[in-house]
Amino acid sequence: MLMAFVNGAGNVILRVKIRSTTAPYGGLTGLSSSSSGLRVSTIADNEATATAYTVAASNVETITTLGTFAAPTSGKCRFREVDATNHPGLYEIQIATARYGVSAAKSLLVTVSGASGAAECDALVPLWSLNPYNGTNASLTALPAFDAATSGGLPTVGSSSGQISLALGRVTVGTIIADAVSASALATDAVTEIAGGIWNAARSSYTTAGTFGEYVNADTVRISGDATAADNLEAALDGTGGVTITAGLTGNVTGNLSGSVGSVSGAVGSVTGNVGGNVTGSVGSVASGGITASSIASNAITDAKIATGAITAAKFAAGAIDAAAIATGAIDADAFASDAGTEIATAVWSTSVPGSFTSGQAGNVLGNVATGTPPTAAAIADAVWDEARSGHTTAGTFGAYVLARTDGDAAIAVASTALSTAQWTNTRAGYLDNIASAAP
């Protein structure tokens, strides 16, 4: 008997018909996994030695549930009668899966023999590369493992989903998935043909307002009718010369501008090079710290560079110029013109007194002195002679000297009585003469 399986098939349940050796040679019943002499042998077509299982060697086991494969114990097989009443002589054999997966084998021969009264029985099992029990692709790796006309399966001809519509022997493609055609998928001649088809298209076929074809067509007609515009466009495209552009530029300029720019209405991202020309317009703002001492060249700013009246108080924001903004020594004597010094002096001496200076400041003191009434000579003399002697005792001062000469010498102290001849000597009289001669 023949029963085909794919090479390497697992969980194979093999059923064979064992006949009696006694006439009328019908199916033999009553055999079991313990029947004396029973032998189950297997050999592949490319093997030289059989693998046999015998009751004598105790390597034939029974089957617990018929029709359900249970891997035999290593080195053993399973054997059991199926139905002695309805199928006399029918037995089920379960062999290890490895026996159906012998490498490069095309068939496996299973032989049952040795039991008393049993005729020898052979079952040849073809081992195929395809699986006759796989209705999708017969386990062939070259075919999809999905049903035809479904996702991943083979396409079929028709008009339904997943089918290919054929018309006049050609395939009609409804849609192409995104990115299906990449740059590498296009041959060089295909790219050339596409480009040629675009540029060789008749202009008269693309006149719908709002389309790129109409737009390019209209501009081409305008340029072709303007010799100057045509020459400028040619120079711009082939790079043979400069082009004068009078219209506005809303994109980026990555090349060089050798002429002048009328105006820039948008923002300039950055200028990494030098500005060789003049800036006649205004600069909206300068970033904090944007102007430093090193960013201004020596002698870059001279009186000739600053127009008369160009710098006024309105040009500077409040607090723009403070002590921290002026470097030490930045303003020296050479920096002031003679009229600048005169103007500063005039401003100082023309300040109203006493002014708004804080008490103790020079401006406040000078202001108060200038606005007061000066004392008379008599008032000054009275103030001097009315000073208390006790307040002028510091050594080395005039007060201490006069005090010592009048109060410390009893010989010339003033008394209530007249001076005697003994007290009034010629020397002392000479002191008075000197004082009198020195008086104003």
pLDDT of residue 89: 97
pLDDT of residue 413: 47
Do 15 and 90 form a contact (C-beta atoms < 8 A)?
yes
pLDDT of residue 246: 64
pLDDT of residue 416: 45
- Euclidean distance between CA atoms 439 and 377, whole angstroms: 15
pLDDT of residue 322: 77
Do 97 and 103 form a contact (C-beta atoms < 8 A)?
no
- Euclidean distance between CA atoms 406 and 47, whole angstroms: 156
Do 107 and 45 form a contact (C-beta atoms < 8 A)?
yes
* Within-domain flag for 70: yes
* Tens-digit pLDDT string for the chain (440 aa): 577 888 898 999 999 999 999 999 999 999 999 999 999 999 999 999 999 999 999 999 999 999 999 999 999 999 999 999 999 999 999 999 999 999 999 999 999 999 999 999 999 999 988 878 777 777 777 777 777 767 777 777 777 766 777 766 676 666 677 777 888 878 888 888 888 888 888 878 788 888 887 777 777 766 666 667 767 766 666 666 666 666 666 666 666 666 666 667 666 766 666 666 666 667 767 777 777 777 777 777 777 777 787 787 777 777 777 777 777 777 777 766 778 778 887 877 777 766 666 776 777 777 666 666 677 888 888 888 888 888 888 888 887 777 777 665 544 444 445 556 666 667 766 766 776 666 55
Residues 9 and 106 grouped into a single domain: yes
Q: Is 151 helix (H, G, I), strand (E, B) or coil?
A: coil
Phi, psi of 2 (to 5 degrees): -120, 135
- Euclidean distance between CA atoms 412 and 423, whole angstroms: 8
The number of domains in the chain is 3
- Euclidean distance between CA atoms 199 and 258, whole angstroms: 34
pLDDT of residue 52: 97
Final residue of a domain: which of 321, 350, 372? 372
Residues 354 and 400 grouped into a single domain: no
Residues 55 and 102 grouped into a single domain: yes
* Within-domain flag for 338: yes
Residues 396 and 356 grouped into a single domain: no
* Within-domain flag for 49: yes
Q: Identify whether 374 is preceded by a cis peptide bond (ω within 30 of 0).
A: no
* Within-domain flag for 347: yes
Residues 361 and 396 grouped into a single domain: no
Provide the domain limits for residue 56. Answer: 5-128
* Within-domain flag for 270: no
Final residue of a domain: which of 65, 95, 128? 128
Residue 438: how many other CB atoms lie within 10 Å: 7
pLDDT of residue 53: 98
Residues 348 and 423 grouped into a single domain: no
* Within-domain flag for 188: no
